A and B are shown apart, each in its own frame.
Chain A
Amino acid sequence: MASLAPDDPDPTLSLLMAVIGSSPAPLLLLDGEFMTVAASASFCETFGVAPALVLGARLLDLGDGEWNVPQLRSLLIATASGSAAIDSYEMDLVRPGHESRCLIVQPKRLDYADADHPRLLVAISDVTEIRATEKAKDEALARNSILLQEVRHRVANSLQIIASVLLQTARRVQSEEARGHLKDAHLRVMSVAALERLLSTTSEKNEDVEIHAYFARLCDSIAASMIGADDPISLQVTGGVGVVASRVSISLGLIVTELVINALKHAFPHGRGGGITVEFEVRGPNWRLDVGDNGVGIPLDPALVHTGLGTSIVQALAKQLEASVELERRSPGTNVCIQHTQIALVEDDRIPKARAAGAILLGS
């Protein structure tokens, strides 16, 4: 092709002009000087320029200079020389009397026989509406996130009120047993409230709970309520590096609450000293929770083993979590292991060889 002037009678060129001219999406053919050789009617309509003013004019000079953007110029130069590192540029087209449009400009250097006359095909997409929709969606998500946090905040506050009522009641009842039950109920509610508070301060995309921080907070609160300043009993949370989905965390928190209350009530009678440890380990989809103590241990006579509400709660929650409950007698003390094994890991030597059928637990 000798020339690509619009009035060239060459039938190949005429076909090329017709193809570009009829493109439904704005399309331009530029020469090496970025002069417009051909333009689609859609380009002229969309960007309000007369076809006669487009052909033969430099793209950067079109209209009132709204296309004369340094980044676009750089991209055209780089594309013409074949050194462009990016293949498109998103720009705001600002025209007097019109709303600003967000455009994606994609220039391509044409690979054809005449290497001395580079030609660029420039496709322009108007993504104003798409970007506006994306922005609206992001804003809606952000609003939802704030609302969810607000709901969790209110749930935590409401639970705190319920917990307060339980404790008020506990202070007023005469029966020591009833007082104990009410204080336990208070701790159970607080365990859920603590999790809701933790979730209310994290973003909506992250429903995972940092388990160590949660257990540490939980155990500290239980210790403050149940271990007197002069009681020689320690409560420690170890391991637990990792995150767990919130729906699992809520059950784990309740299980820890039950087991720790249980150990505090039964493992250290008559001022006996000792320690309780809460250990949590995550391995991929598998996890293992151990609550152990070095107290007096479970009575050997099954008739002396209490089974109470705490036992039922632990068993029920473990079942819901598809986890096994195992009780191990230690000397001294007791360890309860709650284990969820979704995938059997070959190297995992901590998975017990045989599961105890119907593990026993001390009742709270």
Chain B
Amino acid sequence: MPKPRETVLIVEDDILCAMVIRDELQDAGYRVLDLTSRRDEALAAARANPPDIALVNIQLHGHDDGIALSADLKLLGIPVLLISGQVNRARSAQSVAIGSLPKPYSPADAVRAVDYLIGRLAGNQALEPPLGLEVFASIDDGLDDAA
């Protein structure tokens, strides 16, 4: 078994979408934490086992909000990619997320987006962002106010 690559947290209220993204990311070698659609569970998982990136939908379980969760994750130093069809709300959250991959995306799109963002966060500026992925300027902030 090759050594697992970076760890990804997926927070998504649509379990079927979350499952296919998880499978595709695992096939690509990523380690994926347990799926959740709740803000408190996601935060507990992130504290227990900090992921390298979190994929967060805006609409979560009940009234849980993905943008609020993104702000919490940013404080923990975890970069967030928003995965939501609510394009305008995602754009309004540029201070707490590093990018947005609007639905619908295929699992392969999600893997390419994660590959790109992990590369960029590691300092690789030469990468071309895949089509469909919106990269926010905050990706270059180096998560200044992170822990």
Contacts and interface: CB of A to CB of B under 8 A. Distances in A.
Q: Do A and B bind each other?
A: yes
Interface of A: 153, 156-157, 159-161, 163-165, 167-168, 171, 186-187, 190, 193-194, 196-197, 200-201, 216-217, 220-221, 224-225
A224 B20 contact: no
A165 B15 CA distance: 10
Given A197-B85, A217-B131, A220-B131, A167 B20 contact: yes
A105 to B, nearest CB: 42
Nearest to B111: A224
12 contacts: A157-B14, A160-B14, A160-B104, A164-B16, A165-B16, A168-B19, A197-B102, A201-B88, A220-B130, A224-B106, A224-B130, A225-B108
A193 B102 CA distance: 11
Contacts of A193: 103-104
A224 B112 contact: yes
A165 B17 CA distance: 8
Contacts of B86: 153
B104 A159 contact: yes
Q: Which of B17, B88, B111 has the most CB of A within 10 A?
A: B17
A221 B105 contact: yes
Given A156-B104, A200-B85, A224 B109 contact: yes
A355 B88 CA distance: 47
B90 to A, nearest CB: 11
A160 B17 contact: yes
Contacts of A197: 85, 102-104
Given A163-B106, A224-B108, A153 B85 contact: yes
Given A194-B104, A200-B85, A201-B87, A217 B132 contact: yes
Contacts of B106: 163, 167, 186-187, 190, 221, 224-225
B103 A156 contact: yes
Contacts of B17: 160-161, 164
Contacts of B14: 157, 160-161, 164
B23 interface: yes
Q: What are the 3 tightest A-B residue pairs by CB atom distance, in nearest-first order?
A: A224-B108, A193-B104, A220-B131
Given A157-B104, A164-B14, 7 more contacts: A157-B85, A168-B23, A193-B104, A196-B104, A216-B131, A221-B132, A224-B106
Nearest to A220: B131
B20 A164 contact: yes
A190 B130 CA distance: 17
Contacts of A220: 109, 130-132
B29 interface: no
Contacts of A200: 85
B107 interface: yes
A216 B131 CA distance: 8
Interface string B56-96: 00000000000000000000000000000111100000000
B3 to A, nearest CB: 20
Contacts of A164: 14, 16-17, 19-20, 107
Interface string B15-29: 011011001000000
Q: Which of B105, B106, B107 has the most CB of A within 10 A?
A: B106
Contacts of A156: 85, 103-104
Given A221-B109, A224-B109, A224-B112, A163 B130 contact: no
A201 B19 CA distance: 26
Nearest to B16: A164
Nearest to A196: B104
Q: Which of B19, B105, B112 has the most CB of A within 10 A?
A: B105
A225 B112 CA distance: 10
B11 to A, nearest CB: 16
A163 B104 contact: yes
Interface in B11-63: 14, 16-17, 19-20, 23
A157 B87 CA distance: 13
A244 B64 CA distance: 39
Contacts of A186: 106
Contacts of A171: 23
A168 B16 contact: yes
Contacts of B130: 220, 224
Contacts of B87: 201
Contacts of B105: 160, 221
